[in-house]
Structure 1
């Protein structure tokens, strides 16, 4: 007998993950009878922060804390016979490029740890599926570069940043390692460009795997893009600020003021 369907959307950063999560949240009443949803509001503090720490130092205590946190979160769900969706891009670790993070080297260990926790604490015969949304490599590099310019003290220009992180942008290599780590459980991938015209956007492969009936999918509200990056035209100013001698708190205030000055006013 096939076990409970569990869908894990573990990344990647800047591939429409926040938009997918917002779609899932906004359509929660239609999804709830079929699946419990575990979104970043539940995972960031108790689970994903340990994934980020593990990705930085590959320290076993951080992986152990990741497992314990996940077991606690999953153990608190009221499931009945429902499926489970877990979606948080930080489950794969820290965003590459942020404070020197080289790539997704910790992701295979983290995904394998999720399998062990689910089989031990939730259901031994769970029907586990992994989903990773991906993106055109150059677009992804530009998006993560802009994000890191805004949120950290990144001082690399785009050309140098792209050269350093080109291997990470080759998602096939990362996915290959994840597949080996979680075998025999399937790992699905979806390019967000291929989902651009889909009303469910990057949430579409998640909804499909959860088995939500077509009638309910037709009633779901449309996708709203979330966590949109700053205007690329701001890159030179953000780069200059990051290269300045400003104290960190002052730097963040200046960047916030710059971004706010160009935000649409209502």
Structure 2
């Protein structure tokens, strides 16, 4: 039976990619303490969570619980701590599909915990959320939207429109209230969260892999180039190709 379930469930643009790269690179080293599961291993649950964050339908929430229960059934024979990490468990990032905040996340976490407990019994569950100061987080979200979608808002307009989405601590508080029998942790990006996650998994500090390097911020020139492409009269396919070329040129 699973001994403990540690779920790093969000948020986007809070160092999650760096953490996941480090977990993947050192999976074998960490295995005596925890088995690592990243998005490819839990993709059905991630996609169900993203769908519910948009629809808020009972059907999609039921699919979240189904996917969570299916995973728990597969884990039932594992005698280990499981460490999962994917920001998509919190749903879509605000700014996508008309979403203004992570307000679906508390219900998503409650549904997953309910399903996991139904299969695994009284297993210890820790939910982990990495957070970030509002200004750099909003700037990073805007850049991500520029890279991946045809957003046409300048950064200052995006920040004004989505300032409320940066209240990440409020979402963590709501998750804590939604799952009162679960340990909920918030680790700020500015406070080296990778080591704190490893400590939760019982990895001795002298065995911690090197801290992952945070991604470099993108230059303002790339932000301007992507915005110009998105505002152009190019077709969506051509704009996508132009964005890819611009990002490769700045790499």
- Fold shared by both chains (TM-score > 0.5): yes
CA shift, 1:252, in A, is: 0.2
**Cα pair distance change 1:230/1:100, threshold 3 Å:** farther
Q: Specify the alignment match of 2:204 in structure 1.
A: 213
Q: Specify the alignment match of 2:233 in structure 1.
A: 245
1:192 and 2:192 correspond = no
Q: Specify the alignment match of 1:199 in structure 2.
A: none
**Secondary structure of 1:100 counterpart:** coil
Over aligned residues, Cα RMSD in angstroms? 1.8
1:54 aligned residue (52, 55, 58): 52
**Secondary structure of 1:179 counterpart:** helix
**Secondary structure of 2:221 counterpart:** helix
Listed as ranges, the gaps of 5+ residues in structure 1 are 196-201
Once structures 1 and 2 are overlaid, which stretch shifts more, 134-143 or 81-90? 81-90
1:141 and 2:148 correspond = no
Listed as ranges, the gaps of 5+ residues in structure 2 are none
1:115 and 2:104 correspond = no
**Secondary structure of 1:150 counterpart:** helix
Q: How many matched pairs?
A: 250
4+ residue segments displaced more than 4 Å: none
**Cα pair distance change 1:242/1:100, threshold 3 Å:** farther
TM-score, structure 2 normalization: 0.93
Cα deviations by residue, 1:89-140 (Å, 9 ceiling, x for unpaired):
000000111243211011001100111111011x211111111101110000
CA–CA separation in structure 1 for the residues paired with 2:144 and 2:14:
12
**Secondary structure of 2:36 counterpart:** strand
Q: Specify the alignment match of 2:88 in structure 1.
A: 90
Cα deviations by residue, 1:131-177 (Å, 9 ceiling, x for unpaired):
11011100000000000011001111112211121111011211111
CA–CA separation in structure 1 for the residues paired with 2:71 and 2:218:
33
1:63 and 2:61 correspond = yes
CA–CA separation in structure 2 for the residues paired with 1:93 and 1:229:
24
CA shift, 1:215, in A, is: 4.1
Once structures 1 and 2 are overlaid, which stretch shifts more, 136-145 or 183-192? 183-192
CA shift, 1:80, in A, is: 3.5
1:3-82 map, 5 Å: 4-44=3-43, 46-77=44-75, 80-82=78-80
CA–CA separation in structure 2 for the residues paired with 1:64 and 1:232:
43
CA–CA separation in structure 1 for the residues paired with 2:74 and 2:92:
26
CA contact (8 A) 1:22 1:224 kept: no
CA–CA separation in structure 1 for the residues paired with 2:68 and 2:47:
11
